[in-house]
Amino acid sequence: MKRTSLRGLMVLATGLVIGILLTQVLFLKKAADFEERLTDQTIKTALIRVRRLVMNTALPQNAGDSTGIRQLSPPYFVVNIDRQVDEAFLKQQLEQELYRVQITDDFQFAIFDKVNQKLVFGEYVARDKPARKALPVKGLPTYASNDYYFCVYFPFKNHIILRELNVWILFSLLVGLAVIVFGYAIFIILRQRQLAEIQTDFINSMTHEFQTPIATISISAEALKTKGMVVSPERIDHYASIIHQESKRLANQVETILQVARTDQQHLHLIRQSVHLQDCLLAIMQKVQLNTKTDPAALTLRVPTEPIYLSVDPIHFSNAIYNVLDNAIKYSTEIIDVVMTVQPDESWVIIAITDKGVGISKKNAKRIFKKFYRIPTQGPDARTGFGIGLHYVQQIVKAHNGSIFVESKLGEGTTFSIRIPK
C-alpha cells in the first residue's frame, strides 16, 4: 500500500473512531439527563401520595400534578402541607410510597416548625438496615414559608440513575474497549510497516557500503592475477595496500554492526580500566586524522593541564568518541573545523565535540540517537552509513552511567556533549 493511501486510511479511521467516541459520550449524557428527569418525576409521584395521606385529601385527578412540591436541588425536595405531622406516621408513609415506585435507596427527612421557623426533627432512613435514631438536622436548608412542610433528601440519588444506565454504560465500555483494540492494531500495523521500511533501508545501506570495498578488492586481485602483466614490487605493494585497507574497512563495518547488536541484546560487558583521558583523546584524534586523511590543523583538542583519569572500558569508550568525531568530519562543509573540549568538575567530565558543519534541525535532533535513523538530506554523504553510529554511542555512554546531548543549528554547526562520571 502506498504511503499516501495508508495515511489517508489512517486519517479516515481516526475520524471514525473520534466520531464513535463523541456519539457515545453524547448518547450517555442524553440518557443520563432522561433518567434523571424520570427519577425526579417518580420521586414526585411518591411525594404527592404522601402529601395526600398527610393532608387526608383525595389524590388529584392528574396524578402527575406536583403542586405543593418544590425541588430546591437535584437530591432535595420540599413538600408543603397544611398541618403539623406526626414523625412516625410521616416516616411510615414515605417508606411505603417510595417502595411502591421502586425507590429503595437511603433518604433523610425533616419536619419544619412554622412557629419557630426551623427544622425540628430529622431522621436518616437506611433502607437495607435498621433506621438510625432521630438525628440533629444538619446540612438541610430551609426557605421562608408561612406553611408547614417537610423535606426529603436523597444522598445517593445518583446511584439510582446509574442503576438505570448499567446496560448502556456496559455497552459504552465494550465500544470503548473495541476502539482501544482497534487503535492498538493500527499502531502495530504502522510499527510493522516502519520496521519493514527500516529493514529495507538498512539492507540497501549495508549493500551500498559493502559494494565499494568488495569491488575495490576484486579489481585489485584481478590486476594481480592478470597474465602477462609486468609485476613489480612497487605494483604488488600498491595493490596489496589497497586490499588491506579495504579489508580493514569491511572489518570495521562488520564490527560496528556486531557492537550495536551486542548492546541491544544486553550482552555488553564493560571491562573498566583507569584511563588517562588526555592521552586517550589525543590517540583517538590522531586515528581519526589518519583514517579520514584530515589536515591535523582542522582538529583541535583543548584539555586541562591537570591529568584526568576515568574508569571506562577503553575500547568501547574510544569507539564512541571516534564515532562522534568521524560524524563531525563527515558532515562538515568544505572547510573542516572540529574542536574537542574537556570540562571537568567535582563529579563529572564533559567532553564537547563541536563542528561548523551543515547542522541538524530540531526535528531530526530529537531522533538521531534512534537505531537505523539517518537524516534524510544531509550533504553529499547523506546516503552513507548504517544509521547506527550515534545509537551505539548513546548505548555506550549510558552503560558508563553517563549521558549525551546535542545542540545544533542548521547551517551553523553541531555540538555533542558527553557527560561521564569520574
**C-alpha cell of 121?**
426533627
**Which of 155-159, 296-300, 351-355 has the highest mean predicted lDDT (pLDDT)?**
351-355
> How many domains is the chain built from?
3
Q: Give the CA distances from residue 187 to residues 133, 182, 183, 194, 233, in Å, rounded to whole numbers and listed in that order.
A: 59, 9, 6, 10, 62
93-120: average pLDDT: 86
Each residue of 266-296: pLDDT tens digit? 667 788 999 999 999 999 998 888 877 788 8
Please give the backbone phi and psi of residue 65, each rounded to the nearest 5 degrees, phi first.
-65, 115
Per-residue pLDDT tens over the stretch 385-413: 667 888 889 989 999 999 999 999 888 89
In sequence order, the β-bridge partners of residue 417 are 352, 405
> Do residues 216 and 343 share a domain?
no
Q: Write down the pLDDT at residue 262.
A: 66
Which has the closest alpha carbon to 270: 309, 310, 311, 313? 313
- Is 136 a domain residue? no
What secondary structure, in 3-state letters, does 288-304 show? HHHHHCCCHHHEEEECC
In a domain, 105, yes or no: yes
| pLDDT for 210 | 76
**Mean pLDDT score, 213-232:** 74
Q: Among the three residues 229, 264, 299, which one is the final residue of a domain in this structure?
A: 264
Q: Is residue 134 part of a domain?
A: no
| Range in 7-11, 143-147, 371-375 the model is least confident about | 143-147
**Whether 340 and 367 share a structural domain:** yes
Q: Name residues whose C-beta falls within 8 Å of residue 246's C-beta, 6 or more positions apart in sequence.
A: 213, 214, 216, 217, 220
Percent of the chain with pLDDT over 70: 85
Q: Which domain holds residue 417?
A: 273-421
178, pLDDT greater than 90? no
Q: Is 283 found in the same domain as 393?
A: yes
Let me know if residue 135 belongs to a domain: no
pTM of the predicted model as reported, rounded to 2 decimal places: 0.53
Residues 120 and 177 in one domain: no
Residues 278 and 254 reside in one and the same domain: no
Residue 316 and residue 411 in one domain: yes
**Judgement on whether residues 297 and 416 belong to the same structural domain of the protein:** yes
As a whole number of Å, the end-to-end CA separation of the chain is 52
Q: 205 with 344, same domain?
A: no
398 with 277, same domain: the answer is yes
For 265, 278, 340, 344, 356, the CA distances from 321, given in Å and listed in that order, are: 22, 13, 10, 17, 18
Domain boundary among 212, 235, 264: 264
The CATH number given to whatever domain includes residue 298 is 3.30.565.10
Compute the average pLDDT of residues 116-128.
78
Query: Does the residue 24 lie in any domain?
Result: yes
Q: What pLDDT is attached to residue 133? A: 47
Same-domain pairing of 281 and 409? yes
The last residue of one of the domains, among 264, 286, 316, is 264
Residue 388 lies in a domain: yes
User: Helix %, strand %, coil % for the chain, to 5?
Assistant: 50, 20, 30
Tell me what pLDDT residue 194 has: 76
Each residue of 337-375: pLDDT tens digit?
999 999 998 889 999 999 998 888 888 888 888 877 777
CATH number at residue 257: 1.10.287.130
The residues, any chain, with a CB within 8 Å of residue 283's CB and separated by 6 or more, are: 318
> Do residues 120 and 178 share a domain?
no
Residue 61 lies in a domain: no
- The answer to whether residue 309 is domain-embedded is yes
- Choice between 179 and 44, residue whose per-residue pLDDT is larger: 44
What local confidence, expressed as pLDDT, does residue 228 receive? 58
pLDDT of residue 209: 67
Residues 45 and 150 both lie in one domain: yes
pLDDT at 136 over 60: no
Catalogue the long-range contacts made by 141-144 (C-beta closer than 8 Å, 24 or more residues apart): 141/72, 141/76, 142/112, 142/117, 142/118, 143/70, 143/72, 143/78
Sorting pLDDT into bands at 50, 70 and 90, what band is 138?
A: low
